[in-house]
Amino acid sequence: MLSTGIVAAITGALAQEQINIRAIVLKPGYPASALPFVVTVEPCKSSALKRALDRVRTMDCMLVEPLDLQMLE
């Protein structure tokens, strides 16, 4: 079952670093206990994103390591 507050926890970690979210997508077709999230953010400092992802990594809901994929515009 999907734990409540996962999106709030992820967005909270980003907010602590003043990182604005562009979009959040929950990928369909997976069990509720293992839903993959795709979160895209507005341009930000790599160091701030690293700190936010360090917080996300410690969350009990994380089943795999978060991926930081830089997109060039």
pLDDT along the chain (73 residues), means of 10: 76 96 89 86 94 94 87 74
Print the domain residue range for 38: 6-57
pTM of the shown model: 0.84
- The Cα–Cα gap between 55 and 1 comes to 23
Q: Is residue 12 part of a domain?
A: yes
Domain count, the chain: 1
Q: Is residue 18 part of a domain?
A: yes
pLDDT of res. 1: 40
Q: Is residue 19 part of a domain?
A: yes
- The Cα–Cα gap between 69 and 71 comes to 6
Q: Is residue 62 part of a domain?
A: no
Please give the structure tokens belonging to residue 33. 């206990």
Q: Is residue 52 part of a domain?
A: yes
Contact between 23 and 40 under an 8 Å Cβ cutoff? The reply is yes
- Helix (H) / strand (E) element for 10: namely helix 6-16
Q: Is residue 1 part of a domain?
A: no
Q: Is residue 16 part of a domain?
A: yes
